[in-house]
Chains A and B, each alone.
Chain A
Amino acid sequence: MLVGGCDVGSATGKAVVMKDGEIISYVIIPSTTKPEVTARTVMDEAIKKAGLSSIDDLDYIVGTGYGRLKVPFANENISEITCHARGAHWLSPTVRTVVDIGGQDCKVMSIDEKGKVLEFVMNDRCAAGTGRFFEAMARVLDCGLEGLSSLSLQGKNPSTITSQCSVFAESEVVTLINEGVELVDIVAGLHNSIAGRLNAMVRKVGLVEDIALTGGCAKNDGLAKALEEKLGVAVKKLPQDPQIAGAIGAALIAEERLNRQS
């Protein structure tokens, strides 16, 4: 049984191909301005990587993510909230709280022992605490996205940054730079500020362990550490790239649909 999950996000497109419940390939590409093109490109690459010849080899495909309505070859679309929960649960069955930090949204889901969403909260329309925020900060600090994480871990006296709006936070950062504050402390401060916001969202659904991070920003260890400090509990590390959790969830739901049909 071959199934696909295609997660078209605001920043990246992710595709996963699964065979009999195992991942046989996955691909992540930057999103284009046309979600249909992103979906087609990333799925084709995943199919090629899996050694398959065409999209027709897949028995069922679920689309998810911001562009989920624009995945022309999907049999069905499911919200990324449901998909991330399923994906995180499959990767680590003890997870009960999922924090998904994507390109332009962050979401917190509480899930049950089967990976079903019990409750969720989602950020407002602004980019606070999302990939876009970190991209903007990496630009103003001239350190690259990867640099942010390692710099953050070196901060000894994190600065206090009160703005969570990317635009205002940028002005605060510029002020701190001009005051001569150590770069590592500014970056650590930024991570603390976002972790504080995520903590507040976690409190809204209620913190139940284990807690895991998914989405592109989950790769930021500095953020994970800052969040652990705010939450007072350890964040569970997922055994697979957390950025593809949504696509995995979509593929799992595809598999479930096929099982139900047969």
Chain B
Amino acid sequence: MWDNIAILTAAPVFNIQLLLDGLFIGATFALAAYGLALVWGVMNVKNLAQGDFVMMGGYIAWWLGTQGIHPLWGLPASIVIMFAFGWAVYVLMIRRVIDKDMFTSLLATFGLAIVLAQALNLMFGPEVQTAESDFPIRSYFDNAVTIADIKLVAFGLCGLLALAVVLFMKNSRMGQAIRATAQDARAARVMGIDTDRVYAFTYALNAAICGAAGALISMIWVIQPFYGISHSIRSFVIVTAAGFGNLPGVIMAGLGLGVMEQYGGFVLGAEYQQATVVALLLGVLVWRQIEMRRHRQVVQ
């Protein structure tokens, strides 16, 4: 561990590599987490199937890649397919848990996560996969930093998608209806907004965002049927740290998580990378609790 830290201080250029890798992967985390913040904030549904939606999007892009279609086309394909899938899931189950207590949605989506992970496993096998995008890999800083072009492309696409979602939420009628429902569902219903449709759209939009994040992850990183749960945990870490309705916070927390994970994996060893995510979750929860305790004391 100390050896690895020594490497980082002796050759600062390694930091750039870790930092950039972290930012590129963190951008996709932030995208998926924004979807979670959306359903959590609007519908009060804690979607534990988030990471499995991401994996589904990844497998759509990867499968298109194996069929001879460039996986970048998988991005629009998975957005469309996942939107329809999200709508179907809403109609079949989420509609019925939306007004139940909070644990119900958590457990129901956990069941969904198990079904999806296993279905992916049966369809595509348990191997770790990467969608080949055939972009060149370039070196910078005297060959000390190597970056695949696809990572830059994916980073740009992440930004574009986030911008599109923000503009949609701000300007379109549906976006306004979603924000109105989030503020006060009952008042929105009185004003003639079909909240059921708004919920369905929100959930489908979340699935589409996850699908897009997954398609990008399949090109710049790896996918595997059972990696869904760690992506769900990541989304929860980000949303819990940032709070919902706080888009800059979600982006910062997402990028930060990506960077911290890279550093954790490098400094402590690759086997600790998963543990870093979970440890961060616990850290965030403890920190929140300390803050709550301070808040309670102030109130008293």
Partners in one complex: no
